[in-house]
């Protein structure tokens, strides 16, 4: 898919810049085409963008600072790279430049068990964080599905299944170390739980998609592992019943830890992929955290709401094995869906609306999608009002792509009219620049742009993302 890419020239990377990087980084700098190509793509449906001119494999903050310093000298773009799981084209070298791969910066630097914080390098993945802190009886809840890098999760303001209870990266990053556009190393925030000390640079960097700096260290909040965890699956006669159940759960203030929706077709894809036999109907997949009594109390309230709305087959999974199987299947829904149509790519929507508007937004968009022949999956973090259609397009079909874009456009327009956002957790990247302008208005986008220009005057930090040219 190459049509919606803004037509901006690839900037030339001078040989002197390449030479300087090679001299400084030796074997940590690669221009091998396979390496460049691997760093020039992500999980988005964008293709046909030339790869970056080279890749620096950073081992330390000093490496990142030096790489950015060299790039700054030559006004060459730099694109931070973690594990490559972006869905919005964040990693594509649309204006050329150098990829800075931080995946080798994978050290857990410090666990402050008594403060419920952990400090990591940006290449540490969320599974690695959890493996490191598990023995302390702690966990890091943010779960975007993919085993993404913490740096990347900061950059996109990621969230996922647990956000309904624990918040997003916005709420769970305490402090950062960042290499700025000039190659300077700064720190934002402290390990204190709250602060009123000046502008909130941490929150400015979280969600900035690599356009304001390269994140080189992250301090995260942790949570005590809940004493009791219980998961439940509930099937519904139709989508509306599942969605209305969700709305009531949230409005009643039940502190549900996960509240995930899948439509019947998506359940069927998951069944086939994970060899499960879930009822192929609209479904809520839920998890409750707390004391044993608290979990029972929450679940009883939810079961009552669900039953009132026609929910059936409220089934429990209390063993860790059962739960893991269920959540693994949920996390693999994307792959299950993509495999259901060989050769396809998914164009994923990411709207998020106020909870009371969820049914209106979702049901109308299902109707629109069903009126086309395009296959899709549909699932969502509905407890937050966030859901994803994944339109499964043949990447060579102009017609498929046009249909998907039209459906997405209608969905976003509807979500914005209902007081929502075009992107709940994936970011703007290459794909939602126009939606951002519609959502935020020229004034707010102008303010964002003024900040970008002030902090990155030569536009070298992941240029071509968030802002259209």
Smallest separation, CB 330 to a copy of itself (Å): 19
322 near a copy of itself, rule: CB under 8 A: no
* Nearest-angstrom CA–CA distance, 262 and 218: 33
Smallest separation, CB 247 to a copy of itself (Å): 8
In this complex, which beta carbon is closest to a copy of itself, that of residue 128 or of residue 212? 212
- Cβ(73)–Cβ(17) below 8 Å: yes
Exactly one of 5, 10, 22, 204 binds a copy of itself (CB under 8 A); that residue is 204
In this complex, which beta carbon is closest to a copy of itself, that of residue 344 or of residue 352? 352
* Nearest-angstrom CA–CA distance, 145 and 280: 22
Smallest separation, CB 194 to a copy of itself (Å): 5
* Nearest-angstrom CA–CA distance, 251 and 265: 28
Phi, psi (degrees; rounded to nearest 5) at 36: -60, -45
304 near a copy of itself, rule: CB under 8 A: no
* Nearest-angstrom CA–CA distance, 127 and 125: 5
- Per-position x/- string for 417-436, each x denoting binding to a copy of itself as judged by CB under 8 A, each - no binding: --xxxxxxxxxx---x--xx
Residue 78 φ/ψ region, left for φ over 0, alpha for ψ in the -120 to 50 degree band, beta for the rest: beta
196 near a copy of itself, rule: CB under 8 A: yes
In this complex, which beta carbon is closest to a copy of itself, that of residue 132 or of residue 201? 201
Q: Which of residues 209-238 bind a copy of itself (CB under 8 A)?
A: 212, 223-224
294 near a copy of itself, rule: CB under 8 A: yes
207 near a copy of itself, rule: CB under 8 A: yes
Tell me which stretch binds a copy of itself (CB under 8 A): 5-13, 65-73, 152-160, 333-341.
Answer: 152-160
Smallest separation, CB 225 to a copy of itself (Å): 9
In this complex, which beta carbon is closest to a copy of itself, that of residue 281 or of residue 456? 456
3-state secondary structure of 169: helix
Residue 6 CB contacts under 8 Å (≥ 6 apart), including other chains = 94, 430, 433, 464, 468, 469
- Cβ(390)–Cβ(348) below 8 Å: yes
Helix (H) or strand (E) run with residue 81 in it: strand 78-81
- Per-position x/- string for 385-414, each x denoting binding to a copy of itself as judged by CB under 8 A, each - no binding: xx----------------------------
Give the DSSP letter of residue 464: T
């Amino acid at each position: 898919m190459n049509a919606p890419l803004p037509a901006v020239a690839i900037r030339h990377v001078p040989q002197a810049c390449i030479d300087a990087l090679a001299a400084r980084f030796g074997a940590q700098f690669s221009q091998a085409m396979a390496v460049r190509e691997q760093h020039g793509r992500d999980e988005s449906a964008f293709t046909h963008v030339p790869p970056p001119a080279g890749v620096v494999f950073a081992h330390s903050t000093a490496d990142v600072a030096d790489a950015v310093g060299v790039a700054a000298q030559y006004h060459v773009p730099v694109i931070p790279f973690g594990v490559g799981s972006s869905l919005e084209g964040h990693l594509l070298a649309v204006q050329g430049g150098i990829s800075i791969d931080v995946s080798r910066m994978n050290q857990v630097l410090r666990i402050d068990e008594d403060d419920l914080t952990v400090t990591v390098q940006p290449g540490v993945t969320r599974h690695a964080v959890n493996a490191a802190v598990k023995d302390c009886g702690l966990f890091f809840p943010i779960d975007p599905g993919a085993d993404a890098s913490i740096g990347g999760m900061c950059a996109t303001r990621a969230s996922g299944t647990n956000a309904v209870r624990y918040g997003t990266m916005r709420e769970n990053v305490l402090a950062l170390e960042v290499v700025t556009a000039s190659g300077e190393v700064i720190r934002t925030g402290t390990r204190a739980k709250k602060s009123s000390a000046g502008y909130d640079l941490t929150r400015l960097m979280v969600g900035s998609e690599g356009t304001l700096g390269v994140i080189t260290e992250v301090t995260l909040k942790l949570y005590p592992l809940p004493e009791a965890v219980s998961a439940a699956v509930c099937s519904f006669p139709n989508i509306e019943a599942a969605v209305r159940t969700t709305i009531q759960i949230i409005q009643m203030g039940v502190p549900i830890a996960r509240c995930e929706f899948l439509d019947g077709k998506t359940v069927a894809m998951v069944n086939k992929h994970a060899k499960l036999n879930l009822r192929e109907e609209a479904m809520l997949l839920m998890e409750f955290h707390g004391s044993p009594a608290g979990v029972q109390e929450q679940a009883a309230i939810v079961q009552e709401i669900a039953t009132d709305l026609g929910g059936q087959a409220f089934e429990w999974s209390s063993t860790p094995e059962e739960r893991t199987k269920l959540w693994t299947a949920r996390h693999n829904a994307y792959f299950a869906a993509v495999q259901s149509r060989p050769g396809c790519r998914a164009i994923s929507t990411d709207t998020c609306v106020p909870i009371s508007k969820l049914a209106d937004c979702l049901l109308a968009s299902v109707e629109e999608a069903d009126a086309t022949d395009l296959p899709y999956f549909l699932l969502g973090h509905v407890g937050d009002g966030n859901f994803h259609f994944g339109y499964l397009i043949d990447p060579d079909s102009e017609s498929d792509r046009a249909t998907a874009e039209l459906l997405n456009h209608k969905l976003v327009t509807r979500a914005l009219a209902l007081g929502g956002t075009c992107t709940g957790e994936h970011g703007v990247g290459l794909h939602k620049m126009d939606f951002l302008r519609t959502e935020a208005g020229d004034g707010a986008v102008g303010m964002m742009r003024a900040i970008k220009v002030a902090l990155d005057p030569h536009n070298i930090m992941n240029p071509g993302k968030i802002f259209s040219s």
